[in-house]
Structure formats: structure tokens, C-alpha cells
Structure 1
Amino acid sequence: MRVGSGLQRAQRFMMLATVLYRASHLTAGFAAVLRKAPGEVLPWAVLGGILAFSAWLYGNAYARGWFDRRWVWADVLVTGCSGPLLVCLATGARSGGGWVPGGAEVALYGWLFLLGGSVSAAAGVALAPRPAVGAVLLLLGTTLAAYLWVIGPEAAPGSALVGHLNSVVSSAVMARVFWWYLRRQGTQLDEAKARALTAEAARARQAERIAHHRALHDTVLATLTTIAAGRLDANAPLVRERCAREAAYLRRLIQREDDPEAAGAEAAEVAVGTALEEAVHSAECLGLKVTAQYHELPAVPGPVATALAAAVSEALNNVRCHAATGQAFLTAVGVGEGVSVTVVDRGAGFDPRAPGGGTPDGSGSGTGLRRSIHARLAEIGGQSEVDSAPGEGTSVQLRWPA
């Protein structure tokens, strides 16, 4: 049983409801004994014994999380059956057997018949249907026998007897219906929570896969593609420096989930200019010349700076791979508490509406634009725009917040 589950809360509520029902009957017994026989031992002993047994029954149930059926049957036999019969025998022997309706003994011990209702309620909740029916029939038989002993077999059944019998049956039925409804609602709540957790775990795995895909696309894949195309000397110091930096980045990406302090550091505000300059330096390591200008940049949350730097890195990768030019221009300015970043090149340009992004070499940049730029900005509450046309260069504008 999961702690705090809907089913467990339903069980706790039903235990509370039945114990309050029992407490109301014990309160009536206390008032009767205190009013009719404050100095007699037997009534207080009977009341104390039933109170102690009830405390044990419900204390054990709360400790276990639910009723123990053996103790519920003991409650049926001790509280619901033996108590009224034993009291009838003891007081009957003292008075010579039998009483008249409305006598002092009836008024003193009549509260014991009330306990049949709370006993049957506990049985209706804790026992299976057939045993619960058996317990109710046993309580009915005991109630009828004790009542006839007190009143006398020659007396006609009165409203008190009908009321006691009705209390035993209706208490069990209502408790059973309430428990069925609450258990059903609790089970449905648990199932809904399980489905939500499963869906959330799937979304988390999908987000993790996307994050790894973007990291590989924007760093390692871009570097390996450039080296494979023969555009750079793999042993050049700047290229080796970039490879080492990307290897360290991927190491941090893998270890990030197991490092709470790193996650907390990412949430802190950082200077966005530093993150952008790292993206610029990374592009320059692969041979792209970048002219960068920064003006009054504010501190932004770590995830925002990371997303902006990654989007800039992808924009510069597109310039290097597709624009047929070796130079790009970056401008980053503070706009209130936000940031506006623009990456411009004077290269070949492309038609964003064409299949594959319309890049000059036909390889397309649509995937990089969609996942590494547009999606990243949307996730942090920003906005991105790409303006390009064949032969007129490309402009990528990033804004946070949107």
C-alpha cells in the first residue's frame, strides 16, 4: 500500500467514521451509568471493558492501516453479543429473573443494545459480504434474545426492539455502501495518479532525448561534420580546444541529473554575455570569423542564458555550413530586463519555405532551425525569427522574454 494513496485515505476515513459512531454509543452509556448508578461497580466495569476493547480494536486498525478481521469478529462476539447477554444474566439473577418494561435495570443497561449498530457497521466495512451477513444475523439474534429476556417472552415486540434491529441492519448496509463508494473513488484516484506519473515519466524521457539530440547536433556533430568535410585540420590547436570543451560539456550533460548542486547553479542568474561569448569562441575554433557587439546585457536565469547561447551556436553553425561565407555578425543588447540577440550573415541565403530549408548545398537547415533555435526559445518563454532569401543573406533574431 502506498503511503498517502487514495485507497489508504478512503480506509482512514472509514475507520474514523466507525470510531466516531462507536464513540457516540459509548458516550450514551457513560451518561446512563453516571445518571442511574454512579456508585455501582458492575455498570462501570462493563463500560470500562467495552471502552478498553474498542480502543484496542481501533488502535490496532490505525496501526496496521486497516481492520484485522479476527479482531472484528472478536468485537462482534464480545461487544455485540456477549455484553448484552452477560449483563442480562447478571442483573436477572440479582432481581430474580426478568424485568418489567421501563424498569430501572432496562434504563441502566439499555445503551448496550445501541452498540449493535456500531459493531455491525465495523463488520460491514471490514468483512467480506458473506461473513458480514453472518455477523449481522448473529447480532440480530442476540439483540432479539436479550430483549425478550429483559421484557419477557409474553410481551409483544415494541418500537424499541424494532428500532434496535433496524439500527443493526441499516448501520451495516450504509457502512458497506459508503465503503464501496470511497474505495472505488480511492482506487480510481490511484489509477489516475499512476497514469499521470507514467505520462510524466514518458515526457521526461522524451525531453531528455531531445536535449541530448540538440547537444549532439549543436556541438559534436557540427565539429565532426566540419572535420570530415576536410575544411579544417583536426590537429589545429583551436580545433583540439573545441573538441576538448565539447567532450567536457557532454560529460557534464551526462552527470547533470546526479548532481543537485549543478542543477541549483544552473537556476541562478548569470551574465548572458559570457555564455554568448563562449558560443562565439566555439564557432571561431572551426574557422568562422565572428564580429560580436554587446551592450548593457542584464543577468538572466541560467537556463535562459544556456538556451540563448545554444541557439546562437546553431545559427553560427548554419552560417559556417550553409551560407558560403566565412564571416558572421552578432549583436546582443539588453531590452529592459530582457535580451535581444541578432546573428546576421551576408552569405547565400535561402528560402525558408522550400523543402529541406532551401540551403545552397541542399542539405537543409530546417531541423536545426526548428529544434535548436525555435523550440529552445519557445521553451524559455522567448521568441525567434529567421529572415532570409536566396542571395540576400540571413538574419536570426532571438528575444527573451517574447
Structure 2
Amino acid sequence: MKQLSIRVQQIKPSATLAITAKAAQMRAAGRSVISLSVGEPDFETPQSAREAGIAAINSGFTRYTDVAGIPELRQAIADKFSRDHGLEYSASDILVSSGGKQCIFNFLMAVMDPGERAIIPAPYWVSYPDMVKLTEGIPVIVPTTAENHFKVTAEQIEKVICHRCKVLFLNSPSNPTGMVYTAEELVAIGDVVRRHPDLLVATDDMYEKIIFDGRKFATFAEVNPDLKERTVTFNGVSKAYCMTGWRIGYCAGSSALIKAMAKIQGQSTSNPNSIAQKAALAALTGPTHALDEMVRTYEQRRAWLVSAINAIGGMHAIMPDGAFYVFPSVEGLIGKTTASGVTLADDVVFCEWLLEEAGVALVPGTEFGAPGFVRFSYAVSQATLEDAVSRIADAVKTLK
């Protein structure tokens, strides 16, 4: 279609959504399919948030709000940063958007000029590179290894920085690996950033509340307070409070940058959903017992799943620190032949075969910039996980 822009032709659809759609088609055709591809908690939105949403509707809170979000929600988010990380922001330093993805897109639109570069450690969340491309920026992908727990080092970042680098992405706990940066690792990265005064840090903390083994979460600006003005911290209520469909994300940064990002938002979507903002306010200021129970459950599923995956020949997983993903290598299965004579050339073909053969949907690591791996989401019941792993193990046994 000649009318389509070069910009839109450079990006690809979300792999996770595409696989989910394929699984839905198979179910509609009568197939039994287990999807471990979606990054969505399998718990309910907290009761306090649901009630606040209903109350907002019943009270007529259904009009436009401030573009950047209602003042009381922005203040609650500022209070959250102070309480959790000792970071002091005013309400004017906070932007509320229609999901964390819109926050990141607003940020990139506000800071990136054509030809400027964004450093993205791989494995990465699938949307980072394509959002950079939409701003006519250039993604600079920095591969990491399982041996280093999929975490980029300060030395790796130093090697790729040039005068055109504008943004460094960090994601902890990581989607897709579940790995968490320690405070010491973030301090070392801060030492590199400090030497490059034009570099901004975009830290995606969406999974910060889902963390295991008694770890203490640290965010970049918390351990590098002198770099706070050059850092934008992204978060939201989707994962911790099981509110994916409510579409509320938020971020904190310098007031000048937040104002610029709000200007972008004002000319694209305007304010986030008024009802969802009230629900998010209740979630952020309400009881946390549901969150605590969810984290305990995920911690148990994680341990079981890693052990079960490692019992399958040709697959190997390391223990993640947080989120609800396991990211095992399937290198031991690449090159094998299926019963129908198809060679599993790579992780993409492996996932396609597994969906057809076993009715289990996973996301290939290639989509995250990590060929030879696959992503499991364990945001499903234990019984569903056990069924899925049993199907995978049986299917793998048929390979030659």
C-alpha cells in the first residue's frame, strides 16, 4: 500500500499479541490450547480499586480530567516514590498515561530527534526498539548472557556510547528474564552515565513489586540521586495490582520533561480514563495483603517451573529474581527434526511447532532480541502450568 509511511513499515506487530491471537483461533476451532505467552497477572483487581471505579461511575466522574492525570493521583504517586525509594517529587513531576507503554512513547517523542540513538540491553521488552524507530531514532542493542544473568554491565554500556546516544533503557525486574539489578550494579552504571552528560536514563520498574527471595528492590535514581534530573522512572498499576485492562501507567521525572511529555499526550490521547484513575488511586493507597499473597504464589510457581523445565532434555532455565517469567534456552532442541520431518531451525520455528503439536503457546526469544530462548509466563494456575509442561515434555520426546 503506497500510502503507508516508511515509519510504520519499519516496525512489526507485537509478537506476544500475535501468538495470543493464534492460540485464540485454535481454541475457536476446537483445539485445546494453553497460553503461557501473555504478560498478565491471573489474580483479580483489588476490591478497593474495583469499588472505587464503581463509585466513580455512580458519582458521575466520567468527564475529561487534567491531561497529566487528576491531582490526587499524581500526589499519591509522588508519595509512593518518597515512601518506597526516598525520592522526592511534586505532583507536577508526575505524568499519568493510558498504560506504561504510552508513558514511554511520550518520553521518546519528547526527547529523541531523528538519527539519535537509544541503548537497549537484550533481552528487551519487545516494544522498546520499535518505539525508538517510531521516533526515527536508532536502537543500539547490547546483548547480554545467561552467564551474567541477562544483565548489562557498565563496561558494555561504556563501549557503545557515542555523541548521538540520547537514552539508556533499563528494565528491572526484567521482562522477559525476570532478573533484577542490584543497587551495586546500578551504581556502577551510574558512574558511566555521569561521564556522559547528554545521556538520559529510562528505567522501567513495572514489575518492582513482584520480587522474590527477600530481595530489596532499588531503582536507578534512588542509588544515583545526583542523576535524578536525568532519569525518568516508569511504572504503573498493571502488574502489581492486576489492572492490565484499566490502562493506567505513570512516570516521574524533571518537571520540564514531564511538562513536555504531557504536551505530547495532550495532542494524542489527552487524559487517561477518569474512572480508571480513581481505581488506580485506591490501589496505590489501599491495603497490600492481596499483593503480598500474589507474590508468595508466584514465588512458589517459579521454583516449581524452573525445576520442571530443567528436567526436559534440551532446555535449561536459570532462576529469575522477580516478575512472572522464566526464560530458558532451547538451544539443545534447535536442529532437531519433528515426527513430520520439519527441522526446528530456530526458536521461532520451535514455538510454532510447539503450538501446533502440543497446544502450548510460548514467545520465541528472537522477539526479545535473544535467539535460542523462549519465554514462559507463569501467571496461570499451578494445574495449568503442570499440564503445559507435561505437554511440552511429551512433544520434545518425539523429536529426533
* TM superposition score category, shorter chain reference: under 0.3
Q: Which structure is larger by alpha-carbon Rg, 1 or 2?
A: 1
Q: Which has the higher contact order (CA 8 A, sep 6+)?
A: 2
Larger fraction in helix:
1
